C-alpha cells in the first residue's frame, strides 16, 4: 500500500511529493504519516472539513471552484453564500494566498526551486541564536519585525526603508529579524527579505508569511530565510508535523504560533517542536491582550514546556519595559515586536525604549 498518496491536507501535487522525496526533504512514507489519526481518518472517508473541525480549526480552505453560475437572460452571476465567502480577515488572507501560490508555483515548480536552493545563502541557526542571547543577557531575546502595514493598523510607517530599518535593529541589539513578505495585506515582499540578507545583516531571518503549502518553505529558503512561521489556527496537526520536518531537513527553524489553549495543546502533542510563539493578537478579530501569554503558560502547559526545554516567544502588542517584564515573568524567553518599534521616528533607538535600557552591549 502506498501511503504517500494519503496526506489529506498538505498541498503538493503527487509529482511534487515525489520530488520532495527525491531531494530527501521528507520521507513521506514515515510512520507519523502512515499511522497518524488524520491519515487514518482520511482513509476512513472523513472529509477534510471534518478533520479541521475535530481539531477546532475554524479557518476553512478556499473552495476549489467557485459556486455555480446562474444565468438570467444574457447575464451570468454567482450567488454569494456562507460556503464561498470568507468569514473573517484571516480566512480571506488564506484564500487569497491559496490563489497566489497556485500562480507562483506554475512559474517556479518545486523541481526548479530545488535547484535554486543550491545558490541560496547558507542557513543560520535561528532558535540557537535566540537561546544564546537569552543565556547571555537573561532578558528575552528580541525578534524585531520589519513590517510596513497590517490589516488591523493600516500603514505603520510611510517612509519605509526595509534595509535601513533592518540594519538599525541589528545595531541596536535585535537577535533575529522577522520580515513580512505578504504583499496584499502587509505591503511586504520577498525582495525585502532577499535584500536584507544580501546587504549582510547577520541576524537570522524569519520569513513572516502565511504558509499553507510546503512549496512556500522551499521558496522562503531560496530567498535566504532561516525560519518560517506555522500558524496553528490555520494548519492541521499533520501539516504542522510535515512542514516542521521539512524545516529541519533544510536546517531551518519553525516558529509554531498558537493563540489559545486548544492550539497550545495540539502543538504540545507534536514531537520535536522547539519554538512556540504565543500571539497576543487574535488574527480573526484583531483583539490584543498580553495576558494571553501568561494564561497559556500557566499550570501543566508551562511545566511541559519547561521539561521539554521549548523556547516560547511572546508575540504582538508589546510596547513598554513593563510589558517585556510581564511576559518574561510569564515564562517567555524571546519577544516578537513590530508596531511599537516601527512607528518610532528612529526604530533602532526604539529598542532601548522598549527594554528600558540599551541592549546592544
Ligand X SMILES: O=P(O)(O)OC[C@@H](O)[C@@H](O)c1c[nH]c2ccccc12
Q: Does residue 230 sit in helix, strand or coil? A: strand
Residue 264: closest CA among 217, 226, 212, 299:
299
**Known catalytic residue at 284:** no
Q: Which window, 11-19, 131-139, 211-219, 310-318, contacts ligand X (CB under 6 A)?
A: 310-318
Answer yes or no: are the C-beta atoms of 236 and 38 closer than 8 Å.
Answer: yes
Under the binding rule (CB under 6 A), the answer on residue 170 touching ligand X is no
Cβ-closest residue to ligand X? Answer: 338
Length of the chain, in residues: 361
> Of 97, 105, 147, 245, which residue is the catalytic one?
147
Under the binding rule (CB under 6 A), the answer on residue 336 touching ligand X is yes
Binding-site member from 7, 181, 274, 279 for ligand X (CB under 6 A): 279
Burial class of residue 141, CB neighbours in 10 A (0-12, 13-18, 19+): buried
Under the binding rule (CB under 6 A), the answer on residue 194 touching ligand X is no
Under the binding rule (CB under 6 A), the answer on residue 263 touching ligand X is no
Answer yes or no: are the C-beta atoms of 142 and 356 closer than 8 Å.
Answer: no
Question: Hey, which residues between 117 and 146 contact ligand X (CB under 6 A)?
Answer: 145
**Known catalytic residue at 147:** yes
Largest Cα span, the chain = 73
For the chain, the C-alpha Rg in angstroms (whole number) is 21
The minimum distance between CB 213 and ligand X, in angstroms, equals: 16
**Known catalytic residue at 279:** yes
The minimum distance between CB 140 and ligand X, in angstroms, equals: 13
CA angle 11, 16, 20 (to 5 degrees): 105
The minimum distance between CB 208 and ligand X, in angstroms, equals: 6
Give the residue ranges of DSSP H helices in the chain.
Answer: 14-22, 31-35, 37-43, 48-54, 89-107, 110-117, 126-137, 162-171, 190-198, 214-222, 237-249, 261-268, 291-296, 299-307, 321-330, 339-342, 347-355
The minimum distance between CB 304 and ligand X, in angstroms, equals: 22
Q: Which window, 107-115, 239-247, 297-305, 315-323, contacts ligand X (CB under 6 A)?
A: 315-323
Question: Hey, which residues between 143 and 162 contact ligand X (CB under 6 A)?
Answer: 145, 147
Under the binding rule (CB under 6 A), the answer on residue 90 touching ligand X is no
CA angle 266, 241, 86 (to 5 degrees): 70
> Of 257, 263, 333, 339, which residue is the catalytic one?
257
The minimum distance between CB 247 and ligand X, in angstroms, equals: 17
Angle of helix 261-268 versus helix 237-249 axis, rounded to 10 = 50
Answer yes or no: are the C-beta atoms of 301 and 278 closer than 8 Å.
Answer: no
Binding-site member from 60, 97, 208, 221 for ligand X (CB under 6 A): 208
Residue 202: closest CA among 147, 122, 282, 276:
122
**Known catalytic residue at 88:** no
Under the binding rule (CB under 6 A), the answer on residue 339 touching ligand X is yes
Under the binding rule (CB under 6 A), the answer on residue 173 touching ligand X is no
**Known catalytic residue at 315:** yes
Under the binding rule (CB under 6 A), the answer on residue 188 touching ligand X is no
172/340 with CB nearer ligand X: 340
Active site residues: 145, 147, 208, 257, 279, 315-316
Amino acid at each position: 500500500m502506498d501511503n504517500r498518496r494519503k496526506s489529506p491536507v498538505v498541498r503538493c501535487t503527487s509529482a511534487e511529493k515525489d520530488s520532495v522525496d527525491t531531494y530527501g526533504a521528507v520521507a513521506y512514507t514515515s510512520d507519523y504519516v502512515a499511522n497518524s489519526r488524520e491519515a487514518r481518518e482520511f482513509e476512513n472517508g472523513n472529509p477534510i472539513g471534518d478533520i479541521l473541525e475535530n481539531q477546532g480549526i475554524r479557518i476553512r480552505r478556499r473552495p476549489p471552484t467557485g459556486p455555480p453560475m446562474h444565468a438570467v437572460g444574457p447575464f451570468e452571476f454567482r450567488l454569494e453564500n456562507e460556503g464561498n465567502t470568507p468569514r473573517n480577515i484571516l480566512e480571506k488572507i488564506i484564500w487569497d494566498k491559496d490563489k497566489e501560490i497556485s500562480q507562483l508555483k506554475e512559474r517556479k515548480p518545486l523541481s526548479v526551486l530545488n535547484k535554486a536552493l543550491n545558490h541560496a545563502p547558507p542557513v543560520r541557526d535561528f532558535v540557537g541564536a535566540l537561546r544564546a542571547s537569552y543565556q547571555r543577557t537573561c532578558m528575552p531575546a528580541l525578534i524585531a519585525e520589519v513590517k510596513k502595514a497590517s490589516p488591523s493598523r493600516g500603514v505603520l510607517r510611510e517612509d519605509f526603508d526595509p534595509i535601513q530599518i533592518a540594519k538599525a535593529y541589528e545595531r541596536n541589539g535585535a537577535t533575529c529579524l522577522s520580515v513580512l513578505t505578504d504583499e496584499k495585506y502587509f505591503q511586504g515582499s520577498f525582495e525585502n527579505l532577499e535584500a536584507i540578507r544580501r546587504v549582510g545583516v547577520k541576524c537570522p531571518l524569519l520569513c513572516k508569511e502565511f504558509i499553507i503549502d510546503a512549496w512556500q518553505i522551499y521558496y522562503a529558503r531560496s530567498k535566504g530565510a532561516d525560519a518560517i512561521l506555522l500558524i496553528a489556527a490555520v494548519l492541521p496537526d499533520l501539516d504542522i508535523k510535515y512542514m516542521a520536518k521539512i524545516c529541519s531537513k533544510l536546517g531551518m527553524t519553525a516558529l509554531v504560533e498558537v493563540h489559545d489553549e486548544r492550539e497550545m495543546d495540539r502543538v504540545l502533542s507534536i514531537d520535536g517542536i522547539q519554538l512556540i510563539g504565543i500571539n497576543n493578537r487574535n488574527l480573526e478579530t484583531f483583539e490584543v491582550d498580553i495576558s494571553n501569554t501568561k494564561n497559556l503558560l500557566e499550570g501543566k502547559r508551562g511545566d511541559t514546556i519547561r521539561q521539554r526545554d521549548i523556547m516560547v516567544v511572546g508575540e504582538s502588542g508589546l510596547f513598554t519595559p513593563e510589558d517585556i517584564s510581564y511576559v518574561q515573568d510569564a515564562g517567555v524567553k524571546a519577544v516578537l515586536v513590530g508596531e511599537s518599534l516601527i512607528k518610532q521616528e528612529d526604530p533602532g533607538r526604539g529598542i532601548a525604549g522598549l527594554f528600558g535600557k540599551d541592549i546592544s552591549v
